Structure 1
Amino acid sequence: MASVRTCVVRSDQWRLMTFETTENDKVKKINEHIRSQTKVSVQDQILLLDSKILKPHRKLSSYGIDKETTIHLTLKVVKPSDEELPLFLVESKNEGQRHLLRVRRSSSVAQVKEMIESVTSVIPKKQVVNCNGKKLEDGKIMADYNIKSGSLLFLTTHCTGG
């Protein structure tokens, strides 16, 4: 059985964060804890152990830190470029008609749904939008979905009635 370790994450922008981990945990688990407390998406985080960048897919033990009881990490936040990215909206109706949308990584899902309404006339309340296999949720931003230039958004609508 893996023993529990304390992981301390320091950052210039946030208060000290402390998590319990095991040597079998992946770095991504720490990234997810940080995201839950700071709302910084995983892809915009860099975790440093001394000067070494920790990769999300690797286990903590792969960095030779399995014998320590406390792991001290530093969080750096990457500010991604916020240029407009061309995305394509694919409608489930209208024979898969495509619409070009220009969206920023910082755009909220609500803003994107308003753009979708302007080209499809489907009100945001009835929209179900998916990107990269995930349903877009109100209260999040597009950076949370790892959008890239040319990403596809898939639009379906809620059905009312029975």
Structure 2
Amino acid sequence: MATCICIVHSEQWPLMTFDTAESDKVKKINEHIRSKTKVSVQDQVLLLDSKILKPQRTLSSYGINKETTIHLTLKVVKPSDEELPLFLVESTKEGQRHLLQVRRSNSVAQVKEMIESVTCVTPKTQIVTCNGKRLEDGKIMADYNIRRGSLLFLTGHCIGG
């Protein structure tokens, strides 16, 4: 398996260089960029010359199949920062629902504060999930590709297991 050197150019960040294999999917490059820039994969567009690379395709499907250096350009698609009405479902017997108005740019910590204001459950004891993923402090809602009408689920920490 031949390895390639991938160089990613962007107006906003310094050059990013890393090794890839021809069998790697473009999404692996997106994930690497995400780790360096904090730009979510959904908000990235990678260009090889003028061709947009699709995350699910391999590098070899774009004709990259030998030891070479590939130069990619990263474009960041600014997501709309619209308000997203979401329902928060509490994991109580009643399964109470609360309507929250969040933005794609809201941090998980900010959303946990909103949750505290309607449930009185402190952010430290909240476990919030959406689409089967636990929301982590230090990330924003856009990182989870949360859409209008998504459901957030709130459970609390169980002390003593």
Per the TM superposition, whether the score is higher than 0.5 is yes
Q: Hey, what's the Cα distance between the residues in 2 that align with 1:66 and 1:101?
A: 48
Q: Hey, what's the Cα distance between the residues in 2 that align with 1:66 and 1:10?
A: 21
How high is the sequence identity, in percent, across the aligned residues? 81
**Corresponding residue for residue 98 of structure 1:** 97
Q: Does 1:83 align with 2:73?
A: no
Structure 1 spans left out of the alignment, 5+ residues: none
**Superposed displacement of residue 147, structure 1:** 0.6
**Superposed displacement of residue 24, structure 1:** 0.4
TM-score relative to the length of structure 2: 0.97
Q: Hey, what's the Cα distance between the residues in 2 that align with 1:4 and 1:67?
A: 7
**Corresponding residue for residue 109 of structure 1:** 108
Q: Hey, what's the Cα distance between the residues in 1 that align with 2:86 and 2:117?
A: 15
Where do residues 1-162 of structure 1 align in structure 2 (5 Å cutoff)?
A: 2-67=1-66, 69-161=68-160
Runs of 4+ in 1 over 2 A off after TM superposition: none
**Superposed displacement of residue 68, structure 1:** 5.2
What whole-Å deviation, never above 9, does each CA across 1:83-132 have from its counterpart, x for those lacking one? 10111111111421111111100000000000101111100000000012
**Superposed displacement of residue 159, structure 1:** 1.5
Number of residue pairs aligned between Structure 1 and Structure 2: 161
CA contact (8 A) 2:26 2:58 kept: yes
TM-score relative to the length of structure 1: 0.96
1:96 is paired with a residue whose SS is coil
**Superposed displacement of residue 19, structure 1:** 1.2
Q: Hey, what's the Cα distance between the residues in 2 that align with 1:59 and 1:96?
A: 44
Structure 2 spans left out of the alignment, 5+ residues: none
